[in-house]
A and B are shown apart, each in its own frame.
Chain A
Amino acid sequence: MTYDYGAIVALADPTRRAVFEMVAVRPRSVAELTRALPVSQSAVSQHLKVLREARLVRSDQVGTRNIYRLDPQGLDQMRKWLDGMWTEALASFATELEKSEEEGQ
């Protein structure tokens, strides 16, 4: 299994991290984010582009505006990992149980 370190790199920039934190609290538009941050709208857009490419946020078009929210892909990764863990745990359970049956415990 491999992990995408793009997410860590994307959050290394403090302004970008601030953008991400705000989107994590609730979905927001570029204009809203710009009002709350001491940087230009084009800078915010640039940060959002990086976050989107790292699959940390995604955007949905609402009317003429793009609304940014957290991308659940991070959670999907967690899910896949748990899936692998439980499959391995149950396989081990079956093996050990049958071994003990053969031993007549």
Chain B
Amino acid sequence: MIPATAIAPVTSIVRVKATPERAFRFFTENLGQWWPSNFSIGSSPMRDAILEAGTGGRWYEVGQDGSTCQWGEVLAWNPPDRLVLAWRITAEWQFDPNLLTEVHVSFRDLGNGETEVTLEHRGLENYGGAAAQMVGLFSSPGGWHAALARFAEDVAAA
């Protein structure tokens, strides 16, 4: 076992002109509308992204060929304040049911119909468990670095 390296969560904050109720609903019900299609793990280009309401609901993408790729599931569902999602996507950009990282989303009412949405991606040290397999990832043509590099190019070109 590799000792877990404590890694600070990744945090991102955005302010929206909508009530927390509306923001929560849009976040969950319209995932396919706002999720950047370049953040896709499927072999087929992404057509839609779905987040099933309620604890235990899955969140996944649907490819243009109809195939689905799961990302994780809902760990906590507390509209309109808070949503916790499991993000089980590895450094290789593959779904792995044994990997658990958590995406915490909170919706804070700022008044005047505005909401502050804070997203925290926690448990990144769990990627450390994959470090033992790093050799394999680094040395395979479709490995982590290659996948990320390709991904970065797509992002830059978008």
Which residues from chain A sit less than 8 Å from chain B, CB to CB? 1-3, 5, 7-8, 11-12, 17, 20-21, 24-26, 70, 72, 74-79, 81-98, 100-101
Are A94 and B14 touching (Cβ within 8 A)?
yes
Q: Which of A72, A91, A92, A98 is B5 in contact with, Cβ under 8 Å?
A: A72
What are 14 contact pairs spanning A and B, CB under 8 A? A8-B139, A21-B132, A26-B2, A72-B5, A74-B131, A75-B131, A76-B7, A81-B148, A85-B39, A88-B155, A89-B34, A89-B119, A97-B18, A97-B26
Are A86 and B121 touching (Cβ within 8 A)?
yes
Whether, in the assembled complex, B127 has its beta carbon less than 8 Å from a beta carbon of chain A, the answer is yes
Residues of A near B143 (CB, < 8 A) are: 8
B153 nearest in chain A by CB position? A1
* Total residue contacts A-B, CB cutoff 8 A: 122
With A3-B145, A7-B138, A82-B10 known, 14 other A-B pairs at CB within 8 A are A3-B149, A11-B135, A11-B139, A72-B128, A75-B7, A79-B7, A82-B124, A83-B10, A83-B12, A89-B36, A93-B26, A94-B16, A100-B30, A101-B18
B9 nearest in chain A by CB position? A79
Are A24 and B124 touching (Cβ within 8 A)?
no
Residues of A near B18 (CB, < 8 A) are: 97-98, 101
Interface string of B7-42 (1 = CB under 8 A from A): 110101111111000110011001001111001000
Are B14 and A25 touching (Cβ within 8 A)?
no
Whether, in the assembled complex, B152 has its beta carbon less than 8 Å from a beta carbon of chain A, the answer is yes
